[in-house]
Amino acid sequence: MNMIYIFGFFILSFFVLSIIGLFVSWIDRKLTARIQWRVGPPWYQNFADIIKLSGKEVLISENGNKFMFVFAPILGVISATICGTVIFFVLKKNFGFGGDLILLVYLLIIPSLSIILGGSSSGNVLASVGISRELKLLLSYELPFICGIIIPAIKSGSTTSLIEIIKHQQIYGSNIFSLSGIIGFIIILISSCGKVGVVPFDLAEAETEIAGGALIEYSGILLGFYKLAKSILFVVVPSFIVILYLGGSAINSFSGFLIFVVKYLIVLILITLIRNTNPRLRIDQVFKFFWGWLTLIGILGILFTLSGV
C-alpha cells in the first residue's frame, strides 16, 4: 500500500514538475527574446515542442548500445523528478531526513550522467566529443558547487538537513545577508549555470560546432525526455538555491508560497541574465575558471564562514 502511494505520488509529481518546468523554460525563452529585441515565442511553445516530439518517429542508431540509448534519457527524467519531489516534501510537508542535502547533491549529478551515458551509447563521433566535454564540465563545476553548499551547511550549525537550514534562516535571517553568504550565493549561482547547461557552459551540446553534441543521434520522444529533464532542472536548481541562501520560506500558506515564487523568479532571472550576457567558453577556459578562481573564492568563503563573518 505504502509502495503504491509513493509510486502514485511520483507519477503525479512528474506531471506537475513537467508542467511547471515547461512554463518556466518559456519565461527563460521569452526573456531572452525581449533582451534581443524580439517578440519571442507564445506561452504554449514548450508544450507544443514536447507534444510534437512525442508524435515523431524514434530513430535508434545501428552501431550503438540500444538498451542504454533508450534507458539513459528516462534515467535523467526520473532523477530530476526525484530531486523535485524531495524539495517539494521539504517545503510543503516539512518532511526531511538527516542527509537530504547530500542526497540532492548526488541526485543532481545524474541528469548530466544520463547525457553522458546516452551520448556514449549512440555510436557517433560528434557525440563522443560532446560527452568528453560534458564529463570535464561535470568535474569542473562540481567542486565550486559543493563549496557553495558547504557554506550554508556550516552557517546553520554544521547540519546536512534542509529543514534545519530553513529553520536556522527563519530565526537568524537569510544566509545571503553576510559576506560569506554573498560569496557563496555568487559561486553557487555561476556553477548552477553549468548544472542546467545554459549558454556560457553549454559546450556539451554546442549547436554551431559539434551539431548538438551528445544529443546528436536522439530523435522523437527520447529527445523530448532530455528536454523535460532540462526543464525540470530549471525548477529544481533555483529552488535549491532559494532554500540554501534566500530563506526558502515554507509554502504552506498562500503568502509564503507567493514569497517563495518571487525569490525563485529572482534566481531564475539572474541565471537568464548570465546566459544572455556571456558567450560560450572553451572547455579549458571553463576548467581554469571553475577550479581556479571560483574554487579559491569558495575556500575563502568557507574560511569566512568558519570565522563567523
Partner 1 sequence: MSLKLKALKKSLWVYHVSGGSCNNCDIEILDLLTPRFDVERFGIILAASPRHADVLLCTGIVNKKCVERVKEVYQQTPKPCVVVAVGTCSCSGGIFRDGYQMAGPLDKIIPVDVYIPGCPPKPESIIAGIVKFLKELK
In the complex, which residues of this chain contact partner 1 (CB under 8 A)? Answer: 29, 33, 36-42, 44-45, 47-49, 51-52, 54-59, 205, 207-208, 211-212, 215-220, 223
Q: Which is nearer to partner 1, 13 or 231 (CB)?
A: 231
CB closer to partner 1, 212 vs 247: 212
Q: Which is nearer to partner 1, 25 or 305 (CB)?
A: 25
Cβ atoms of residues 146 and 105 within 8 Å: yes
Helix (H) or strand (E) holding 98: none
Query: Which residue carries 523535485 as its cell?
Result: 84
- Residue among 48 and 273 whose Cβ is closer to partner 1: 48
Closest contact distance (angstroms) between CB of 266 and partner 1 is 25
Please give the grid coordinates belonging to residue 14. Answer: 512528474
Q: How far is the CB of 132 from partner 1 (least distance, A)?
A: 17
Residue 116 CB, shortest distance to partner 1, in Å, is 18
Phi, psi (degrees; rounded to nearest 5) at 52: -65, -45
In the complex, the smallest distance separating the C-beta of residue 76 from partner 1, rounded to whole angstroms, is 17
For the CB of residue 29, give the shortest distance to partner 1 in the complex, in Å.
8
> Please, what is the minimum distance in Å from the beta carbon of residue 128 to partner 1?
14
Nearer to partner 1 among residue 126 and residue 143 (C-beta): 126
CA pair distance 175, 197, nearest whole angstrom: 26
Task: Give CA–CA dist 27/213, Å, rounded.
Answer: 25
In the three-class reduction of DSSP (H, G, I as helix; E, B as strand; rest coil), residue 63 is classed as: coil
**Cα–Cα distance list, 52 to 25, 57, 107, 150, 221 (Å):** 17, 10, 29, 42, 9
Q: Name, in order, each residue with C-beta under 8 angstroms of 103's C-beta and a sequence gap of 6 or more.
A: 86
Nearest residue (CB) to partner 1, 90 versus 215: 215
